[in-house]
Structure 1
């Protein structure tokens, strides 16, 4: 179960949260890598639908000027 979570460090720990031990399915942040990819695609679709000036603002603020949603396979 632990190794199936996208945040697993492979040593029963977490790369996302500051916890000593992985809580496995009790963790509200638990997500498989497939679920992470699906959520990311949904977010990219929403970002791609925004006006260009808003996309630029978000890319500058949160993505160091990059727009990964433009090059992804989930274009609008």
Structure 2
């Protein structure tokens, strides 16, 4: 499997540890995952500063990681 979440033969996204392969709703290649994360970062950067600060405070310990 070429899924971004596979490590040592186990799925790091699902707690069951089993890989569902192509039927898994979380299955993405590493490239697809990188593109997805970049899209999220772009969206966060597009928000007004006060919203970015609120998100950073709530989820990232006050640090904007985007």
For normalisation by structure 2, the TM-score amounts to 0.89
Rounded to whole Å, the distance in 2 between the matches of 1:33 and 1:6 is: 5
Aligned pair 1:9/2:7, yes or no? yes
Aligned pair 1:28/2:28, yes or no? no
Whose strand proportion is higher, 1 or 2?
A: 2
Q: How many residues align?
A: 66
Rounded to whole Å, the distance in 1 between the matches of 2:11 and 2:35 is: 21
**Following TM superposition, by how much is the alpha carbon of 1:10 offset from its aligned partner in structure 2, in angstroms?**
2.5
Match of residue 47 from structure 2? 50
Aligned pair 1:38/2:25, yes or no? no
Rounded to whole Å, the distance in 1 between the matches of 2:40 and 2:29 is: 17
Ranges of 4+ aligned residues in structure 1 off by more than 3 Å:
none
- Name structure 2 gaps, 5 residues minimum: none
**Following TM superposition, by how much is the alpha carbon of 1:20 offset from its aligned partner in structure 2, in angstroms?**
3.7
- Name structure 1 gaps, 5 residues minimum: 70-76
